[in-house]
Amino acid sequence: MRNKRTELTINHLERNDGVPFDASWFENSQINRSAIERRTSSLGGRRTVKKEYQAAWLLKAISCIDLTTLAGDDTRGNVIRLCAKAQSPVRHDLLEAMDMTDEPIQVGAVCVYHNLISFAKEALEGSNIPIAAVSTGFPAGKISLEDKITEIKKSVAAGATEIDIVISRDLVIESKWQELYDEVALCRKACGEAHMKTILATGEISTLTKVAKASMVSMMAGSDFIKTSTGKESVNATLPVSLVMIRMIRDYYERTGLKVGYKPAGGIQKAKQALDWLILMKEELGNDWLNPELFRFGASSLLGDIERQLEHFVTGAYSAGYRHPMA
Amino acid sequence: MTIKEIYKTMSYGPAPESAAQANAFLDAHNRQFDLFINGEWQKPSSAAYFDTFNPSNKKALAKIAEANAQDVNAAVEAAQKALPDWVALGGHQRARYLYALARQVQKHSRLFAVLETMDNGKPIRETRDIDIPLVARHFYHHAGWAQLMATELRDYKEVGVIGQIIPWNFPLLMLAWKIAPALAMGNTVVLKPAEYTPLTALLFAEMCRNVGLPKGVVNIVTGDGKTGAALTQHEGVQKIAFTGSTEVGKIIRKTIAGSGKKLSLELGGKSPFIVFEDADLDSVVEGIVDAIWFNQGQVCCAGSRLLAQESIAEKLYSKIKTRMESLIVGNPLDKCIDMGAIVDKVQLKTIDELVKQGITEGNTIWQPSWACPTEGYFYPPTLFTDVSPASKIAHEEIFGPVLVAMSFRSHKEAVALANNTRYGLAASLWTENINLALDMAPQLKAGTVWINSTNLFDAASGFGGYRESGFGREGGKEGLYEYVKPKIEDSLMDTPIFPPIIDQPTAHNQQLVAIDRTTKMYIGGKQARPDNGYSNRIHNRVGKTIGEVSDGSRKDIRNAVEAAHASAWAGMTGHARAQVLYYIAENLAIRKAEFANRLVQMLNHTEGAACSEVEQAIERIYTYAAFADKYDGAAHSTVQRHVTLAMPEAIGVLGIVCPEESPLLGFVSTVMPALAMGNHVVVVPSESFPFSATDFYQILDTSDVPAGAVNIVTGKKEDLAFELAKHYNVDGLWYFGTKEGSQKVEALATDSMKRTWVNYGKCRDWSDDKQGSGELFLRQATQIKNIWIPYGA
């Protein structure tokens, strides 16, 4: 059903082109943190997947990973390796044991800095794995809007089909919602055909209510995805923040009929965490959001833990990291 | 399903918890359990056993002994025998036992959880994550209270042997709520688990043996209602603690009326779940799931009446329906379900009949499209909208997964609808406006108010009802008082104290013909003639007629209660009430001689004795004026990032039937604490010597007491007391009279479930500060409301 993913994106999923700014869609939003935390902390006890269900869900998690490297010492070499891992993230014998060899298990995208796009493009030639580039003065976003637009355009020109932008946090802190809308809308325009993921940097937004408002404004301005964090803030993706953001996605969908994707990023390192997020998505938004068109993990080390869990499922013995090819 | 198929459908699949160890436990007992009496397993004298079932597959789990009166007697005797040593052991040693029990529960937590789920049908998530952890927490918390009893409750002692009867909806948790505080305070217990769900109590009995709990301290007798009746009627039991239906609670109360047994009742509810337009609606929906679909709705404090502000009602209903569609009903041992089985076919039938009636009454029903499993007793989550308050499902406790919804227009209407019930166990209210939340919480007639949350429990917080949801609290320091009694109770007397009569009363050999004084009653701040137009002659203690007093009747009680409800007194601050009380004392001091003369006239005692009574009355008014702004509640330490406020609230309209003796001091000592706490009172003064009270209304008139705060109805004390006891709009009644009168007051108060405080014919020395004043009076004048306020932005 999800084999030809890129086609699906183009043919079946109506892209969010945004709607005119309307403060009434969010100005009365109220988020109750305690209730949000109660929901996320009890969800793990209410829903779980075991055995073959867990294996299938973990494979799904892999397909939703934006396999990421965003380090100062990134080179062509490690980006090439990352792209190889992206195309065959799971050992073939494990896929065989699970009878999954005819499902092209690969990650959702590869995510790099702008000046590494070309190497990724080279390495992913012939695959349908999208290249995502972080942009707009990532991670702090403290460059002029003009420079942000230029940076996006350069990345798209270099071959990125997904652009992860960061918003100006000061606009959220100062509740300048119209300005935020204008900025994100301009970025979206600059993206053109490339899909835009809007990073709110929720670790730097002090209240969940503001997270909700920033989410709605970002969607109104045409974001294809909204994303928690850069991975560089001290607090990254958390389940409570995710719950708030995806409930706003639901609200936006109910108002417009448009499905916006969600990407938690930063700090998601364990297979168990990945399952928690998938369960959250399924419970709050439904199965449509359980595929890479509408859901991504921004993660670098998550894949390794999932591989170990899959081997445990296949062999019954706990696995070791060295048994799986590194990125 | 293959992995490939699951990869495409992304379904959850089964995740069953193993029943192997629980089955092994049952097998080790050959699936037959005897009675746990005096630390041993004892065969029931009837040799009768009944089956307990797993409601999710209708299979019998084990045979359970049926205790009859003889077995109950053996258990009570064992508890009586164990009592002196258990008391003598002291707080610290008892704390060690309670701590050990907490540890046992933790060490065997999964076994308890699985067994509970099998016996009851509730989801393993709930037993594992909620019930059993709360059980351990309760024993830990009360181990602490055992340790602290000697210092924190120094004026109190154990009650004795406690009979405890618990329900089937939280079998082990209710056991913990009953046993932990009882043991901590030095009592011994005989506990009867519910007929449907005895297994975890029997496993707990094993834990008692494991920790070497002294024999007879905990006795567990299984059986049905007859076993419970034998326990409540047993003369060797000093207190009954019951959790269950209002219907059975009333039977128990009537049965033990006048016996002097202490009683705490935690009964039914139809708790409102109020949603204001500024609430976080998505979070509200999850709150509703936890309110009414927790334990299949078989929760006494379930938020079963949804009150939604009109502006958001339709939106909310739509969100609830979407959410209901994704709920999963199934095998309770599965870790991936939301609702398990209804406890028994009888309960299932009750739910089904009430729902059918709801449909017949024209309410709009909605159920999800999926079907429940058919092999056990399952019922789908159900929503009724546009429910009229008049329909049966709006006011009857369904005790199932059925939510009835109605809308409200204004805050005032929300309160009115919320309180439009005979129950008063809990309320949940949702708003992001703290001003609104804290304005609403005190107005709701409920023992627990959860703000932006629901069904939160903790050992440090009291839990219990208003109105027909029962009385008494479980948990928190307030809950301990159910398991102790004041030490001074042992020194109360069988006859009242009257000072000696002296030969020549000094009062007023008046030469002139006195002007005939008409002593009226005092209702709504005005002097009132009796409705029936009769008066009674009053004689002094040597038989001389000293005046006449109105012969108040039930109509005067009616008028007084109405006037009391209309009073503004409760709305005043503690400080303002204190000011009025001080003013009363001031005015009484000015008229000291007159009040002393009156006492001499009635009681024929010395002027010295009379002056001393007036002086003491003034001092006592000072005491309660002082307390008016100082009897604070508490901020309980419960769960993270919550303030749990324990607020003492006035009982409401309180009837006070004064003692015959100490006509002034007895009046003041009972009326003033009630007033200080903000009650509106209807007072029946001493029948034989009423003039101190009737003189007193002139003082009330000159002391800025708002109309209706104090109403005085003179006349035949017993008749008036019984009228007050029956009156549905009287919230509480204090009665200081005869043993027989006490019995009748308790019996008559049963149906309205009003709080009563009677003396069973025992008399206080009102001149003794320990007996005639103090914190006990304030506690009787209030009930604790726990308000849970979570926070976080």
Could you tell me whether strands A162-166 and A131-134 are parallel, antiparallel, or unpaired per DSSP bridges?
A: parallel
- Chain B positions touching A31 (Cβ under 8 A) are 280, 283
Does the pLDDT at position A13 exceed 90? no
Q: Does B283 touch chain A (CB under 8 A)?
A: yes
Q: Considering only alpha carbons, which residue of chain A is nearest residue B279?
A: A30
B458 sits in the region (left: phi over 0; alpha: psi -120 to 50; else beta) called beta
A213-219: average pLDDT = 98
B598-608: average pLDDT = 94
Using only C-alpha atoms, what is the Rg of chain A? Answer: 19
* Alpha helices in chain A, H assignment, sequence order: 5-11, 33-46, 51-63, 76-87, 92-97, 117-123, 145-158, 169-173, 177-191, 208-220, 239-256, 271-284, 302-315
* Contact criterion met (CB below 8 Å) for B510 and B782: no
pLDDT confidence bin for B514, thresholds 50/70/90:
low
**Beta-carbon separation of B338 and A46 below 8 A:** yes
Q: What CATH number does the domain located at B531-634+651-782 have?
A: 3.40.605.10
State pLDDT tens for residues B425-449.
999 999 999 999 999 999 999 999 9
Whether A201 is in a domain gets the answer yes
Candidates A53, A90, A173, A205, partner chain B, best to mutate (most B CBs within 10 A): A53
A36-48: average pLDDT = 96
Q: Considering only alpha carbons, which residue of chain B is nearest residue A210?
A: B793
The C-alpha atoms of residue B726 and residue B749 are separated, in whole angstroms, by: 6
- The CATH architecture of the domain made up of B27-267 is 3-Layer(aba) Sandwich (3.40)
Whether A152 is in a domain gets the answer yes
Q: Does B11 touch chain A (CB under 8 A)?
A: yes
Q: What does the pLDDT read at residue A12?
A: 53
Annotate B208-232 with b (16+ C-beta within 10 A) or e (fewer).
Answer: beeeebbbbbbbbbbbeeebbbbbb
Does the pLDDT at position B573 exceed 50? yes
**Beta-carbon separation of B12 and A49 below 8 A:** yes
B291-313: average pLDDT = 98
Examine the predicted complex and report whether its ipTM is higher than 0.90: yes
Does the pLDDT at position B516 exceed 80? no
Does the pLDDT at position B506 exceed 80? no
Q: What does the pLDDT read at residue A10?
A: 40
Whether A7 is in a domain gets the answer no
Does the pLDDT at position A268 exceed 90? yes
B321 contact partners, CB below 8 Å, separation of at least 6? B366, B368, B383
- Chain A positions touching B338 (Cβ under 8 A) are 46
Q: What does the pLDDT read at residue B508?
A: 53
**Beta-carbon separation of B286 and A32 below 8 A:** no
CATH top class, domain B272-464:
alpha beta
Whether A90 is in a domain gets the answer yes
Annotate B270-282 with b (16+ C-beta within 10 A) or e (fewer).
Answer: bbbbbbbbbbbbb
Mean pLDDT for chain A overall: 95
Whether A321 is in a domain gets the answer no
- Chain B positions touching A59 (Cβ under 8 A) are 3, 7
Q: Does B10 touch chain A (CB under 8 A)?
A: yes
Whether A1 is in a domain gets the answer no
Could you tell me whether strands B402-408 and A65-68 are parallel, antiparallel, or unpaired per DSSP bridges?
A: unpaired
- Chain B positions touching A46 (Cβ under 8 A) are 125, 336, 338
Catalytic residue among A85, A263, A276, A305: A263
B596 sits in the region (left: phi over 0; alpha: psi -120 to 50; else beta) called alpha
pLDDT confidence bin for A8, thresholds 50/70/90:
very low
Q: What does the pLDDT read at residue B627?
A: 98
Q: Same CATH topology for B27-267 and B531-634+651-782?
A: yes
pLDDT confidence bin for A327, thresholds 50/70/90:
confident
Domain count, chain A: 1
State pLDDT tens for residues B527-558.
999 999 999 999 999 999 999 999 999 999 99
Distance (Å) from the alpha carbon of A17 to chain B's nearest alpha carbon:
26
Put simply, the chain B residues between 336 and 365 with a CB less than 8 A from any chain A CB are 336, 338
Annotate B290-312 with b (16+ C-beta within 10 A) or e (fewer).
Answer: bbbbbbbbbbbbbbbbbbbbeeb
B597 contact partners, CB below 8 Å, separation of at least 6? B507, B508, B610
Does the pLDDT at position B507 exceed 80? no
Domain that holds residue A194: 19-316
B619-648: average pLDDT = 96
**Beta-carbon separation of A30 and B280 below 8 A:** yes
State pLDDT tens for residues B60-111.
999 999 999 999 999 999 999 999 999 999 999 999 999 999 999 999 999 9
Does the pLDDT at position B405 exceed 50? yes
Distance (Å) from the alpha carbon of A206 to chain B's nearest alpha carbon:
8
A67-89: average pLDDT = 97
Whether A190 is in a domain gets the answer yes
The token pair that represents B495 in the structure block: 């006859």
Spell out which chain A residues touch chain B, with contact meaning CB-CB distance below 8 angstroms: 1-2, 28, 30-39, 42, 45-53, 55-57, 59-60, 98-100, 103, 206-209, 247, 250, 278, 282-283, 287, 290
Residues of B marked as catalytic: 266, 300
Whether A213 is in a domain gets the answer yes
> What separation in angstroms does the CA of B467 have from each of B168, B449, B690, B750?
23, 15, 32, 11
The token pair that represents B501 in the structure block: 């009569």
Name the residue ranges covered by the structural domains of chain B.
27-267, 272-464, 531-634+651-782
The C-alpha atoms of residue A169 and residue B175 are separated, in whole angstroms, by: 53
State pLDDT tens for residues B407-430.
999 999 999 999 999 999 999 999
